[in-house]
Structure 1
Amino acid sequence: MSEVRIAVEQRNEFGKGAARRTRRAGKIPAVLYGHGADPKHLSLPSVEFARAVRENGHNAVLTLEVQGSADELALTKTITAHPIKGYIEHVDLLLVKRGEKVTVNVPIVITGDAASGALVSQELTEVEIEAEALHIPEQVELSIEGLEIGTQLHVSDLKLPKGSTLQGDPEAMVVNISEAAASMEEESATEGEEPAAEEETSEEA
């Protein structure tokens, strides 16, 4: 994951009205907290922040260039989006230091194809891991290539990148591979056709 530099501004107005004015100006209200420091109220440039998240995921690490202050390193912790219109309403940022380890949720991406006739159910879409702030993986891949019906994969089956450690329940199920309903219906239909075929043979005889 690459480090992204973003120029931010400090906010001196608070409340819903101030937040709306910030968004109308093409910026996103944000709060930076952590390491026992007083929270800092900031505004992020909407376009640049959206690009950072798109290219680096929701755990994007930002170098915040604050006018009149030293640059600060921050992990994107929480992104609140409008439930209908989808634009970003607010962002929580966590102050971090180089070399520091953080706990984050990382997406699980399933790759490959299971055996023919299998139904693949992904029961878990994210896994909680601990990793160095500047080396957070964008995702963790789990291959199901060729796996047979009846196979179950758990968090303990995930192969985490070097330097990352599991924080979640290792017994939590990630993938369940069962028999596809269509396949079962075809078998039932085939079984139901057999007596009819026998009757036709009998009548012809």
Structure 2
Amino acid sequence: MKQFTLNIATRDHTGRSASRRLRKVNRIPAILYGKQSSPEKLSLDVPEFTRLLKTVAGRAVLIELTRQDQGNKALSFLQEVQRDPITDRFLHVDLHEVKADEKFEIRVPVAITGESFGVKTQNGVLETATPYLRVRVLPKDLPESIAVDVTELKVGETIKIGGMKPIEGVEFLDPKGQPVVSCVEPVAEIVTETVAATPSAGAAAPAAGAAAPAAGATPAPDAKAAAGAAPAKAAAAPAKK
């Protein structure tokens, strides 16, 4: 597998003040943990480390560390990278040393391959339950990612750790029943339709500004009906004799 390199320098001082001074000169406080040695305090060059992260692109890789002040080397992998949540600046880096002839544990990213049958023909949706898998390997056997083929996966089915294809030299450490990726039915969209009330054709809309009749009151007759119902004029009184 491809191996990456990174220059490191030993640092003597620790604490917040010392870390701030390092960041001001564009360096990152770091620490190297070893199985058979005490943790070693280091510092890294920001531009070089930034280029390394872009090249690695989230894969599980080994990094050859070169001590600038001593010249000796060590093999390691990135354990953790801490960033400022506001400025995104690097705050601290944890590295884990490994030996070429010793197995070690590491988290390896899952890489989905193929087009799921459930997605293609059943309108299903893929859900990745475990984006990283814990494995135990020798440095020479470390995969950059673990491919999970979902071509035959149907709606309602799940690929679990125990059902994954074995990889030579790689030991899976997660429980066998742990789900890795599933094909599920899409969540139905709930659409609420509001039906506007439409007045019937025979009902006359009240005039603008007209007061509504009081509850229980008898509606007033229309104008024509009222005119027809008016009493006739009284007959002329008979002439006096």
**TM-score normalized with structure 2 length:** 0.69
How far did residue 22 of structure 1 move?
1.2
Aligned to 2:176: 170
Can you list the C-alpha shifts for 1:46-99, whole angstroms capped at 9, x where unaligned? 222233233233643222221125222222222222223223211111222112
Structure 2 contact 59–145 (Cα < 8 Å) conserved:
no
Q: CA RMSD in A?
A: 2.3
Q: Which residue in the other structure is 1:62 paired with?
A: 63
SS at match of 1:141: strand
Q: What's the CA shift for 1:146?
A: 4.5
Post-superposition offset of 1:105: 0.8
Larger Rg computed on CA atoms: 2
Contact 2:59 2:109 in 1 (8 A): no
Distance, in Å, in 1 between the alignment partners of 2:165 and 2:46 is 35
Q: What are structure 2's unaligned runs of at least 5 residues?
A: 192-241
Q: CA deviation at 1:166?
A: 0.7
Name whichever structure is richer in strand by fraction.
1
Closer, same or farther: CA 174–135 of 1 in aligned 2, 3 Å: same
Cα distance in 2 for partners of 1:26, 1:160 equals 44
Q: d(CA) in 2 for partners of 1:37 and 1:81?
A: 27
Q: Distance in 1 between matches of 2:87 and 2:114?
A: 34
How far apart, in 1, do the equivalents of 2:104 and 2:71 lie?
Answer: 24
Partner residue, 2:4: 4
Query: Which amino acid letter does the alignment assign opposite residue 32 of structure 1?
Result: L
Pick the aligned partner of 2:132 from 126, 132, 152: 126
- Contact 1:154-1:172 at 8 Å conserved across structures: yes
CA contact (8 A) 1:137 1:161 kept: no
Q: What residue is the counterpart of 1:50 in the other structure?
A: 50
Task: Label 1:175 to 1:6 Cα distance change in 2 as closer, same or farther (>3 A).
Answer: closer
Bigger helix fraction: 1
- Amino acid of the residue matched to residue 121 of structure 1? E
**Equivalents in 1 of 2:84, 2:102: separation in Å?**
32
Q: 1:1-205, aligned counterparts within 5 Å?
A: 1-56=1-56, 57=58, 59-66=60-67, 67-114=69-116, 115=118, 116=121, 117-182=123-188
Number of corresponding residues: 185
Q: Which has the higher contact order (CA 8 A, sep 6+)?
A: 1
**Percent sequence identity over matched residues?**
26
Contact 2:60 2:109 in 1 (8 A): no
In 2, Cα distance between the equivalents of 1:139 and 1:96?
Answer: 19
Q: Which residue does 1:191 correspond to in 2?
A: none
Gaps of 5+ in 1: 187-205
Matched AA of 2:96: L
1:145 Cα offset (Å):
1.9
CA distance in 1, matches of 2:128, 2:97: 33
State the AA in 2 paired with 1:111.
Answer: T
TM-score (norm 1): 0.79
SS at match of 1:28: strand
SS of equivalent residue, structure 1 residue 37? coil
